[in-house]
Homo-oligomer: A and B are copies of this chain.
C-alpha cells in the first residue's frame, strides 16, 4: 500500500483559504477545504449587490467550481465547531471530525457591535450574500413604503438612510445608495422626489477613509458632500433601534441603518484555546504558524501579523491572498524537507475606494489618484481580480449598462412581500 499522503485541511474558502488551496495545486498532498457556505464571495463588490447593481451570482462562485481542475483537493460543505490540537482533528457540527497533518485556519471576520449586540437587528452589516440581499430588501422596501406613506414625518424617516462607519465599505455604500435612490425614484415613484432622499454617513474618527492619507480623505469628503451625502465626523453612535439612531446629542429618525463600523475575528482563538487580541485575532509567528504549533497556520482577518514597520498587516483581501500563498509555499518547503523559517512579507499594493459614479480614490503609496481616472482604474482592477472569466464579462456589461442608462438591473425585493413592510424591522432577515 502506498504511503499515506500529508493531509492539509483548510478551513474557510475566502480570499486567504482559496489562495492557499490554489497555490497547493499539484502538491503531493490530500487537501480538504472546509467551508460552511458552498461559495467563495468576492467581498469588495458585495456593496453593489446590496445596492442592486449586481446579482449575487455575479460576486460569488461555488468553491467546488473554482477548484474543479485541482485533483488533490476536495471540498466539504460543513460547519467547524472546534479543533482538537492533540488528536490533530477538526471537529464538525455533524459529530464527525476531519484529521489533519497541517491545518490552515482562514475563517475571516464578522461584524462587531462594540458590545451592543442588540444593534445587529436594526443595523445589518455587509459580510455575506444574505446580508447584501437583506440590505437591498430594506432599501427598496423603504422606498416602496415611502411611496404609500401620507404622514410627512414617517415618510421622512423612511427616506433617511444612515451608514455607521466611513471606511471604504461605508463610503461606497453611501455613494451607491444616493445613486440607487435617485435612479430608482426618477420617473418611477409618484410621491417621492429625488431630493427627498437623505443619506447620512456617521464616523467616530475625525475624517472619512481614516486609513487613507489625509488629502484623499479630504477629496472623498468633498465628493460625498457634493453628491448630497451628510457626513457626521467624530460622532460615536450611542443607540440604534427600530425608529432611528442616536449619536452625540443628536437623534435621527430612520428606518434603515447599515453597519460598516467594526469587525471581529471568527472564534478561532476559542477553537485553539489561545488568547486572541481585543478583536479576537491570533498573534502568529513570522511564518504565520501558531506559537508552539508549527502545523497550524492562521491567515487573513483572523490573524494578527506584525510587520517590521510596526504597523500590523491590514485586514484586506490582498493581504489574505498573499498570506494564503505564503502558507502554501511553507507547506511545499516542509514537504521537501526544508523546515527553515520562511518569514511572511506583506506587499502593500495600495488602498482604493469608490465614492460614486466617476469618483474614486487610490493610494499607491508612491503616488495617489483621484476622480474619474481613479474610478476607471478601480473598475478595471476589480474586473481583473474577479475569479472567473464569465463573471468578468457579465460584470463589465452590467457596469457599462448602468453607466450608459442609469438602470440598475437587480432591484428585486425577495423574501419580503408588501404584507411584511410595516414595521420594516420585522421583515425576516434570515
Q: Give residues in A with beta carbon < 8 Å to B.
A: 35-39, 55-58, 60-62, 64-65, 67-69, 74-79, 93-94, 96, 129-130, 133, 140, 144, 147-148, 184, 187-190, 390-391, 393-394, 397, 401, 407, 409-415, 417-419, 421-422, 428, 430
Contact = CB atoms under 8 A, between A and B. Distances in A.
A85 to B, nearest CB: 23
Given A38-B413, A93-B418, A428-B430, 7 more contacts: A38-B412, A56-B412, A57-B411, A60-B412, A68-B188, A78-B418, A129-B414
B407 A390 contact: yes
Contacts of A422: 94
A140 to B, nearest CB: 6
Contacts of A57: 55, 409-412
Contacts of A140: 38
23 contacts: A36-B419, A37-B418, A38-B411, A38-B413, A39-B412, A55-B58, A56-B412, A61-B411, A65-B188, A75-B188, A76-B148, A77-B148, A78-B148, A79-B417, A79-B419, A94-B148, A130-B415, A394-B394, A394-B409, A397-B397, A415-B430, A428-B430, A430-B430
Q: Which of A61, A77, A94 has the most CB of B within 10 A?
A: A77
Contacts of A35: 418
A76 B149 CA distance: 11
Contacts of A418: 35-37, 77-79, 93
A111 B44 CA distance: 40
Contacts of A130: 414-415
A74 B390 CA distance: 37
Contacts of A390: 401, 407, 409
A160 to B, nearest CB: 19
B36 A417 contact: yes
A418 to B, nearest CB: 4
A168 to B, nearest CB: 24
A419 B409 CA distance: 32
A140 B76 CA distance: 13
Contacts of A190: 74
Nearest to A430: B428
A175 B144 CA distance: 38
Contacts of A413: 37-39, 77
A418 B93 CA distance: 9
Contacts of A37: 413, 417-418
Q: Which of A36, A65, A76 has the most CB of B within 10 A?
A: A65
A75 B190 CA distance: 9
A402 to B, nearest CB: 10
Nearest to A64: B188
A342 B148 CA distance: 36
A311 B407 CA distance: 43
A419 B93 contact: yes
B133 A411 contact: no
Nearest to A73: B190
A413 to B, nearest CB: 4
Nearest to A393: B397
Contacts of A421: 77
Contacts of A415: 130, 415, 430
A79 B421 CA distance: 10
A189 B418 CA distance: 41
Contact of A69 (B64, B74, B78, B187): B187
A419 B418 CA distance: 30
Contacts of A62: 188, 411-412
A422 B61 CA distance: 23
Q: Which of A35, A129, A409, A428 has the most CB of B within 10 A?
A: A409
Nearest 7 pairs between A and B by C-beta?
A64-B188, A57-B410, A77-B144, A36-B418, A79-B419, A38-B413, A55-B55
Contacts of A67: 188
A163 B129 CA distance: 29
A61 B393 CA distance: 21
